[in-house]
Structure 1
């Protein structure tokens, strides 16, 4: 697969992405992403794990701290991300490599599990990446933000600022996965926790840290958490992320 399949401006953007690094914010987000991975993998045991699009290694660091697996590998599109992962000296990380975004430098069925956490929303050719991860592993944990809402097209500038070029709901992600020969075994919808919202509100956005704003954050979380339990429709409307554990099958939809 040709390296130039990744647009040059995309590669440049991600090369620079981890040069300015907010450790506390990334590790806080990684804590909950790792919790989600562990949650959907309950009852399963994995030895050899690859994270594709590993960013700065925050999720791998958390998983390693929790003794999730015995061996970890990472691939990442950005130079700055690769260097940051290596600098962490994460326990049981065997290899960290830069890759072209689509072609994985591993043999068929090399891994027990591939983790793809908050990656697909950034990928220009998502089906090509899904076919490649299917080649090298048997199980997969995939998490995406639930960005799609009515009138999402009026917020293009907002989402592009985060590099989100694809929009998902739980239903649309399952459709994508099933038409590429994945079978969903476990799934989880989640809401951003108060701890993360407080950090984003008071540290990132520098809003007043007072009892009224703290109460609003807790109240909003409680309401959303109640609503998402009522129906699948409300889950798709109010949840913030969707996580699935998949296995590969021999099935793939005939596209045309």
Structure 2
């Protein structure tokens, strides 16, 4: 499998260490921003499971951060039991306070598996984690070895679309504030999963769109030009030109995978007619 070489962040940090620094420097701000974007991510998990008639008893989120997504899924009653693992002790401490009924632990999933009193889960979630990893293939393979699960839901931003590549010609990707070191298209993400023990059975692509209150929170104290630019690119354009936006500029892409039993193609089970663009 050909894997794109990850970029090196200009800070010199790894993708995950970038987030640990972010949590340490601005925990409450980061937790609030993640909370404001969690609804759209939870929608993807809920919709993919619902339309495939999957009713999980237990859900584990890997790289759960401050608990925004797993907490939103708990609020919606998606499962009966909820678990979260993150590399950041700072983030997990916040999660334990905000969501005391979610079992959580600080761990490196590349090295640790059984950190809870159970060793199997109905659904494992990786929401906006893979783009932060220098070696996402090793990560996905480690998940398959270290965790027992029936289904995996993974979501990443698609940032290597046409205008994203044009933008990269004039703006250094190593300086991106989100700490992304991988930049995907739908095809490159499917190629990644082809090399893992997972069969993709469904997918969803959508244009992330923030409301004006969220944008005021995040960018209201920036320059007026920057704020207006974010209003345009994170609200009006994705809202009103969503199909063009997700094709040419930016999208979030979610896949529902089933752990393979035999040696079958990783995309053999995909129901291509179910590819939905939900805006």
TM-score higher than 0.5: yes
Query: Is residue 182 of structure 1 aligned with residue 198 of structure 2?
Result: yes
Counterpart pick for 2:219 among 205, 217, 222? 205
**1:164 aligns to what?**
180
Q: Report which stretch shifted further, 215-224 or 244-253.
A: 215-224
| Structure 1: unaligned runs, 5 residues or longer | 1-7, 229-234
1:193 and 2:209 are equivalent in the alignment: yes
Match of 2:165 among 150, 156, 161: 150
CA contact (8 A) 2:206 2:253 kept: yes
CA distance in 1, matches of 2:34, 2:263: 37
State the alpha-carbon separation in 2 of the partners of residues 100 and 216 from structure 1. 38
Work out whether 1:25 is the aligned partner of 2:33. Answer: yes
Match of 2:86 among 66, 76, 85: 76
Distance 1:84-1:214 versus aligned 2 partners, 3 A rule: closer
Residue 61 of structure 2 aligns to a residue whose secondary structure is strand
Q: Taking structure 1 as reference, are residues 88 and 179 closer, same or farther at Cα in structure 2, changes over 3 Å only? A: same
Alignment of 1:42-191 (within 5 A): 42=50, 43-91=53-101, 93=102, 95-106=103-114, 110-135=120-145, 136=147, 137-148=149-160, 149-151=164-166, 152=168, 154-159=171-176, 161-191=177-207
Contact 2:159 2:250 in 1 (8 A): no
Give the drift of 1:237. Answer: 2.1
Deviations 1:120-143, CA, capped at 9 Å, x for gaps: 001122112101222312210000
The TM-score with structure 1 as length reference comes to 0.79
Runs (5+) with no aligned partner, structure 2: 1-11, 266-279
Query: Stretches of 4+ moved more than 6 A in 1?
Result: 212-215
User: Is 2:238 the counterpart of 1:227?
Assistant: no
1:244 and 2:247 are equivalent in the alignment: no
Deviations 1:62-91 (A, max 9, x none): 000000111111110011111111111343
Is residue 61–residue 90 contact of structure 1 (8 Å, CA) maintained in 2?
no
Secondary structure in structure 1 of the residue aligned to 2:59: strand
Figure out how many residues of one structure are paired with residues of the other and give that number: 233
SS at match of 2:37: helix
- 2:47 maps to what in 1? 39
Change (3 A) 1:90 1:185: farther
CA separation in 1, counterparts of 2:230 and 2:172? Answer: 27
Is 1:190–1:239's contact at 8 Å kept on the other side of the alignment?
A: no
For the 8 Å contact 2:67–2:99, the answer to whether it is kept is no
